[in-house]
């Protein structure tokens, strides 16, 4: 037997092999007939990359769905359904935008009425109370002997009101109102210094010490040069805040209104398209939806007009007399302080007579503004007309009493000057003292200011009332319009089912 060399292979010949080791034809036919049982393997070099195959397997389903949707949209029922969905989205967007805008405006007006405006009024009370406290302090200082209990009580009440008003002035502030907080903090720090100086002046005055005049003069200087200017700036800032917020809240809601108008235009275009498609002139559902949206737009436009009329016009007309009266009252109090300080320093008032006459002129102008204001209209109110008459009468009495005071100072009759400046009980031969006339004038001006403020608040309240139920009404009308659109298109869709 021969040996094969290593590495060589001797083919095995079976019983069915041919003479040369090749299978016969019958075996080839049998093997070829079951080739489908072999495992299918991926080609060595696929025609597409794995990323492409993965993308095709991932997006095949959505793409088929998209093709079906597009195919449906091209049909007449698909067009009807698509138009209805577009109208629904347009109406819902317009209605929700207007409803949210109206609700936000109502909340902002409520904040203006109950937070911002009271904060400004507290700043006003702080300003006037500080000025009045200084006036009462100097008035009590020139009184002969011990200061009267009523004057002292009025002084302490004015200081207490100022302290409370300072705290209330920052209750409605925000992070952006840092200047307001700084001013209130400055006033709260300086007010105890002022009251301490006043008490030192009173103690030394009762003891007959001449240094009392210096204490009183320094206290009044601190009030008029430092504290009152800070209070005046605080009052201006808070008043400007009220005016800015009110002006912004009484402007028409142009953007939400344009959304409602666009929804109405879409409805009209849809009805025209539906007429061209179905040859039916009016779709009752679309017509009802159009009516709903027109009612919503008219409701909002009417509330905006009422809010603007009551707010922008009425508030502005009422705020002008309020500002003028407030400024005039402060001027009168400062003039009164100067009047009494002239007695403390034993000075003549001739040098400052022009300032007093300017103050009187400004008060008369403020009273005329109050009378001419159409928003307040005192001619239709007996109470306001009486207040106006009392203020003018008190102003005339103060002017006359001041002239008598200046004449007494010029003559060197300090006893009479002190009586005119401090006593509220006139002598039988004089119509009124300066102190009594100023007290009556200050009370009348305070009542006029309070009445003007009430008029302003009434216009803010009218603006708030105009926005009441607007948000809810627009929301309900929007839902009604959407339901009407679907009910209107339902009959047309059923024609193709």
Q: Give the model confidence (pLDDT) of 194-244 as tens digits.
A: 999 999 998 888 888 888 888 988 998 999 999 999 999 999 999 999 888
pLDDT score recorded for residue 62: 67
How many angstroms separate the CA atoms of 178 and 160, rounded?
A: 24
* Cβ–Cβ under 8 Å, residues 344 and 216: yes
Judge contact between 478 and 95, C-beta under 8 A.
yes
**Domain limits at 192?**
121-243
Does some domain include residue 131?
yes
| 17 within a domain of the structure (yes/no) | no
Residue 52: predicted pLDDT: 66
The residues of the chain scoring below 50 in pLDDT are 1-23, 25-26, 28-31
The model's pTM: 0.75
Would residue 307 count as lying in a domain? no
Residue 75: the pLDDT is 80
Please check whether residue 45 lies inside any domain of the structure: no
Q: How many domains does the chain have?
A: 1
To 10 degrees, what angle do helices 414-422 and 382-411 make? 160
Q: pLDDT digits over 378-400, tens only? A: 667 788 889 899 999 999 999 99
Identify the CA nearest to 306 among candidates 466, 474, 110, 113.
466
365, part of any domain = no
**Residue 281 DSSP class:** S
| pLDDT score, position 145 | 60
- Do residues 226 and 190 make contact, with C-beta atoms less than 8 angstroms apart? yes
pLDDT given for residue 441 in this prediction: 93
CATH of the domain at 201: 1.20.120.1730
Residue 18 domain flag: no
Residue 342 lies in a domain: no
pLDDT score at 18: 47
Q: How many CB atoms lie within 10 A of CB 62?
A: 9
For residue 430, tell me if it sits in a domain.
no
């Amino acid at each position: 037997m021969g040996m094969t060399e290593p590495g060589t292979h001797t083919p095995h010949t079976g019983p069915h092999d041919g003479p040369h080791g090749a299978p016969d034809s019958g075996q080839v036919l049998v093997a070829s007939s079951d080739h489908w049982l072999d495992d299918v393997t991926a080609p060595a070099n696929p025609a597409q990359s794995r990323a492409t195959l993965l993308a095709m397997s991932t997006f095949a389903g959505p793409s088929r769905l998209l093709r079906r949707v597009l195919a449906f949209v091209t049909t007449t029922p698909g067009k009807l359904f698509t138009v209805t969905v577009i109208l629904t989205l347009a109406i819902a967007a317009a209605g929700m935008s207007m409803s949210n805008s109206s609700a936000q405006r109502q909340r902002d007006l409520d904040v203006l009425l109950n937070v911002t405006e009271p904060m400004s009024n507290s700043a006003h009370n702080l300003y006037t109370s500080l000025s009045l406290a200084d006036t009462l302090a100097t008035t009590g200082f020139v009184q002969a002997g011990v200061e009267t209990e009523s004057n002292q009580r009025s002084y302490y009440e004015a200081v207490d009101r100022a302290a409370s008003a300072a705290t209330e002035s920052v209750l409605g502030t925000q992070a952006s109102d840092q200047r307001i907080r700084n001013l209130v903090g400055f006033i709260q720090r300086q007010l105890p210094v002022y009251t301490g100086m006043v008490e030192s002046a009173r103690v030394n005055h009762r003891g007959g010490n001449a240094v009392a005049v210096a204490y009183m003069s320094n206290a009044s200087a601190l009030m008029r040069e430092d504290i009152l200017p800070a209070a005046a700036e605080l009052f201006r800032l808070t008043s400007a805040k009220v005016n800015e917020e009110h002006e912004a809240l009484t402007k028409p809601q142009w953007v939400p209104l344009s959304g409602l108008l666009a929804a109405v235009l879409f409805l009209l275009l849809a009805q025209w398209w539906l007429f061209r498609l179905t040859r039916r002139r009016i779709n009752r559902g679309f017509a009802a939806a159009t009516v709903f949206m027109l009612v919503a737009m008219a409701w909002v436009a009417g509330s905006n007009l009422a809010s603007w009329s009551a707010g922008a016009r009425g508030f502005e007309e009422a705020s002008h007399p309020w500002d003028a009266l407030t400024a005039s009252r402060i001027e009168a109090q400062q003039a009164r302080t100067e009047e009494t300080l002239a007695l403390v320093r034993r000075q003549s008032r001739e040098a400052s007579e022009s300032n007093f006459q300017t103050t009187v002129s400004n008060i008369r102008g403020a009273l005329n503004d109050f009378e001419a204001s159409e928003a307040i209209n005192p001619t239709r109110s007996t109470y306001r007309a009486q207040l106006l008459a009392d203020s003018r009468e008190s102003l005339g009495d103060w002017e006359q009493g001041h002239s008598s005071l200046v004449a007494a100072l010029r003559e060197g009759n300090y006893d009479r000057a002190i009586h005119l400046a401090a006593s509220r009980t006139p002598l039988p031969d004089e119509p009124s003292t300066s102190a009594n006339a100023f007290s009556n004038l200050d009370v009348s001006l305070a009542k006029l200011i309070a009445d003007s403020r009430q008029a302003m608040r009434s216009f803010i309240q009218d603006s708030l009332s105009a926005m009441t139920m607007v948000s809810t009404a627009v929301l309900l009308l929007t839902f009604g319009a959407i339901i009407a659109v679907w009910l209107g298109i339902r009959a047309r869709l059923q024609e193709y089912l």
